[in-house]
Each structure stands twice: as C-alpha cells, then as structure tokens.
Amino acid sequence: MEKKIKNICKKNNVKFIINDDPLLALKLDADGCHLGQKDMNIKTAKKILGKKIIGITCHNSLNLAKKAIKAKADYIAFGAFNQSKTKKTKYVASVKILNKVKKLTKIPTVAIGGINAVNYKNLLLNNANFLAISGYIWKNKKYKPLQAVERLK
C-alpha cells in the first residue's frame, strides 16, 4: 500500500510525507515526516532523516512556532482553523497566527482543520502556503474525492 501511495505521489510530483513516524519515513524512503508535539523531537528526527523534510505541528501557538523555527523545521503547521470531524478539535487557530508568523520567518506554513471549498481561499489569502485537507475530500457525502479536489481549484 505504501509503495502504491509513494508512486502516486511521485507520478503527480507531490511530496510523500509520513505522519508522526520518522523511522517509518526512513524505511519507506519518504520525502519527509510530520511531527506532532507529542512525537519524537525534531533533533532526533533530523539525525534519522538527514536532509529530508520535517514539519512541526504548532497548534495555535506563536511560542511553539518560534521553537520550531529555531530547530530549523522545514514547515510549520497550525490549526484547527475550523471545526473538523476528522480529529477532535483541541486547539483553535485564527488567521492572525499565520500573519504574525510571516513577520518572523519565511518558513512555509500549513493550515489544517475543517478546510473545504468555502473557507480555503481565506487561509491562502492570509499567508497559509499549504493546506492539509482530509475530511472534505475523503468523507464528503456530496462529492467523490476527485470532484471535491476539483472544487478547490
């Protein structure tokens, strides 16, 4: 299954990022790994993954973002920007955090949480470089995954 996903990513020129597990990312020769706040620390992950991409969840915290920037994360993720059925919303982020972070760094930002065809543009207009979208694509009762993606263009 992982090889299949990796090949789909490669074919579409999309990075193959493993969530939470640098050892699995290394084993699968993924492009990188995303680390949550309760996962392995970035220093250890960098020793395992070398030059591969490592992103860090920063929830809604400028302090966590500063730590990730200092640790040389390749990107920093914020959210949830909206209510989500994919994951329980523990932290609520607003576009203010994206705008504040852009004054501190050029590191790319990722927005996550309840993102759909109605609310995604506002995040992009407020300094989100990338969007992590799951439920709208995979659990959409109205559109099949490809149709859902098409609505985001």
The answer to whether 91 touches 58, Cβ cutoff 8 Å, is: no
pTM, full prediction: 0.91
The domain locations on the chain are 58-150
Query: In what side-by-side order are the strands of the sheet with 32-35?
Result: 17-19, 32-35, 53-57, 75-79, 109-112, 130-132
Residue 36: is its pLDDT beyond 80? yes
The CATH class, in words, for 58-150 is alpha beta
- Choose the weakest-confidence range: 44-48, 51-55, 131-135: 131-135
